[in-house]
């Protein structure tokens, strides 16, 4: 009986310890989100299609389709995601993923706060942050053991800025030329968007369908971390199922993939279950 009591006592202590560690991670995420919001400013700009006169025709078609003229340029966006994640190409099963992501446009930043369930009751918590031109990513197993951490590497900074550019389709006023995007037509259904932030310049190729919606973004060289080193790898994101949110037309479903030498490795897919704009 005494041994059972001791086992129960230490089990309870361990559960309390895990709960406190998880609470600390939650507090860290909340603090980062609050700091990002506090450092952002809300623009008073309104969407004016006159600025599109020098943009490629396919870009004009897209922006006029997804943006309501005269409405505010979006300063902050919060989206919630539910979907799947795969850490390695040889994994056949998708791990359940749910996340909340904050974006700000002045300055450009995002915080991706995700939980990935790799086994029943076993989760990995991930914070992926871009701010002040720097990317920071951290991951902990059960909010306890660090399994991923890197920050302020030039390759990571560029990859994070590419992610911001790709995901601007969820707050599409950020893709206006007045918001620092330079567009160049590459063919009738594709245009290259370039962006500079805190000294880093990068670009993505945006593909549009006949309706003028963005259906994919692509780069032949996004940096991918492999065994502690960053390797430039072809990367593609796809978007579909456009819906109207407060007058802005945005894709509800998305998937991203690495194009490896021997296979296409899809590693993230999600449905956007909530939008909020400020």
Where residue 56 falls among pLDDT bands split at 50, 70, 90? very high
The 10s digit of each residue's pLDDT in 178-209 is: 999 999 999 999 999 999 999 999 999 999 99
Q: What mean pLDDT is predicted for residues 77-100?
A: 95
Q: What mean pLDDT is predicted for residues 222-247?
A: 96
Q: What mean pLDDT is predicted for residues 63-76?
A: 98
Looking at residue 146, its pLDDT comes to: 87
Task: Average the pLDDT over each of 4-18, 101-115, 193-207 and give the range with the smallest value.
Answer: 4-18
Looking at residue 121, its pLDDT comes to: 85
The CA–CA distances, whole Å, from 161 to 131, 133, 139, 165 equal: 9, 8, 20, 6
Q: Which residue has the higher pLDDT, 9 or 90?
A: 90
Percentage of the chain exceeding pLDDT 70: 92
Q: What is the mean pLDDT of the chain?
A: 92
Looking at residue 160, its pLDDT comes to: 98
Q: Tell me if 211 sits within 8 A of 169, measured CB to CB.
A: no
Its sign, for the CA torsion 171, 127, 148, 158, is positive
Where residue 9 falls among pLDDT bands split at 50, 70, 90? very low
Could you tell me which of 169, 159, 257 has the C-alpha nearest to residue 209?
Answer: 169
C-alpha dihedral (154, 270, 85, 29), degrees to nearest 10? 60
Looking at residue 275, its pLDDT comes to: 97
Where residue 119 falls among pLDDT bands split at 50, 70, 90? confident
The 10s digit of each residue's pLDDT in 147-180 is: 899 998 999 999 999 999 999 999 999 999 999 9
**For residue 5, pLDDT beyond 60:** no
pTM for this entry:
0.92
**For residue 22, pLDDT beyond 70:** no
**For residue 92, pLDDT beyond 50:** yes
Looking at residue 11, its pLDDT comes to: 52
Q: What mean pLDDT is predicted for residues 61-69?
A: 98
Peptide bond into 57 cis (omega under 30): no
Q: What mean pLDDT is predicted for residues 244-266?
A: 97
**Spatial separation of the C-alpha atoms in residues 119 and 231, rounded to whole Å:** 29
Q: What mean pLDDT is predicted for residues 80-107?
A: 95
């Amino acid at each position: 009986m005494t041994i059972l009591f001791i086992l129960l006592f230490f089990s309870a202590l361990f559960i309390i310890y895990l709960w406190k560690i998880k609470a600390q991670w939650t507090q860290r995420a909340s603090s980062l989100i609050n700091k990002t919001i506090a450092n952002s400013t809300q623009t008073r700009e309104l969407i004016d299609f006159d600025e599109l006169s020098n943009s490629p025709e396919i870009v004009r078609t897209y922006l006029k389709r997804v943006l309501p003229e005269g409405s505010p340029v979006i300063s902050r966006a919060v989206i919630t995601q539910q979907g799947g994640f795969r850490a390695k190409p040889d994994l056949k099963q998708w791990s359940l993923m749910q996340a909340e992501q904050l974006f700000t446009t002045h300055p450009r930043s995002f915080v991706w706060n995700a939980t990935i369930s790799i086994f029943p009751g076993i989760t990995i918590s991930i914070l992926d942050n871009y701010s002040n031109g720097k990317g920071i990513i951290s991951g902990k197993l059960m909010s306890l053991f660090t399994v991923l951490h890197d920050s302020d590497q030039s390759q990571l900074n560029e990859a994070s800025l590419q992610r911001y550019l790709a995901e601007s389709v969820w707050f599409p006023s950020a893709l206006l030329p007045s918001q620092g995007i330079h567009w160049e037509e590459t063919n009738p259904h594709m245009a290259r968007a370039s962006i500079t932030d805190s000294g880093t310049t990068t670009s993505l190729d945006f593909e549009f369908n006949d309706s003028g919606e963005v259906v994919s973004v692509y780069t032949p060289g996004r940096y991918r971390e492999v065994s502690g080193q960053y390797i430039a790898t072809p990367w593609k994101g796809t978007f579909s199922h456009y819906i109207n949110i407060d007058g802005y037309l945005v894709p509800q479903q998305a998937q991203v993939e690495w194009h490896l030498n021997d296979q296409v490795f899809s590693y993230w897919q999600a449905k956007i279950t909530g939008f909020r704009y400020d």
